[in-house]
Amino acid sequence: MTTRKISFILNGELKEFDVFPNERLLSLLRRNGFKGTKYGCLEGACGTCTVILDGKAVNSCLVFAFQAQGRTIQTVESLSNKDNKLHEIQQALVNEGAVQCGYCTPGIVLSAKAMFDENPTPDEEAIKLQMDGNLCRCTGYEKIWSAIKKVSASHKKGDSK
């Protein structure tokens, strides 16, 4: 199958990729080593493959790879750094014991990050609405819920200082 070249900003760097005509963004990312983006249902219903596209959390299984042309994409790899310090959302999930099998976790992290980037202090309704698209079968969401609420609360505290 013939491929085409596209380029987009991935995790802060302009990159060029060969894409297949019917390829989804999820497959393009995983094929190129960005395997932090996991495969869940391939039908846009579980949120496991969430990435941040131009600031919005999207299911990368529902985005054709060529649609990424010229846009900005963040995967969970963007949050890793040299000194292995966790992003505050990851740290909150780890602290609360919200990572069981961990398969949905990168998607949860990115959905939450897209929310916090837009609104550092979401209320409970806003959190539920944003996180509704990320399924988890292990935790009953209870500890994910409290982790995200704690991040929001910590931002509120920071605001008042």
In the list 3, 7, 55, 94, the residue contacting other proteins (rule: CB under 8 A) is: 94
CA distance 91 to 86: 6
Please tell me the total number of residues recorded for the chain in this structure.
Answer: 161
Q: Which residues contact 71 (CB under 8 A, 6 or more apart)?
A: 8, 9, 53, 54
Q: Beta partners for 51? A: 58
Q: Is 113 in the site for other proteins (CB under 8 A)?
A: no
* Of 70 and 102, CB closest to other proteins: 102
Number of helices and strands in the chain (H, E):
5, 5
In the list 3, 55, 56, 97, the residue contacting other proteins (rule: CB under 8 A) is: 97
Q: Is 145 in the site for other proteins (CB under 8 A)?
A: yes
Window 35-64: residues binding other proteins (CB under 8 A): 35-43, 45-46, 48
In the list 70, 102, 118, 158, the residue contacting other proteins (rule: CB under 8 A) is: 102
User: Which element (helix H / strand E) includes 117?
Assistant: helix 105-118
Q: Is 4 in the site for other proteins (CB under 8 A)?
A: no
CB of residue 123 vs other proteins: minimum separation in angstroms? 14
CA distance 43 to 32: 21
* Of 120 and 133, CB closest to other proteins: 133
In the list 10, 65, 68, 109, the residue contacting other proteins (rule: CB under 8 A) is: 109
Q: Which amino acid is at 50?
A: T
- Which pair of structure tokens corresponds to residue 130? 């944003």
Strands in 60-137 per DSSP E: 72-74
In the list 3, 54, 70, 129, the residue contacting other proteins (rule: CB under 8 A) is: 129
Q: Which residues bind other proteins (CB under 8 A)?
A: 1, 22, 30, 35-43, 45-46, 48, 75-77, 79-80, 84, 86, 90, 93-106, 109, 127-129, 131-145
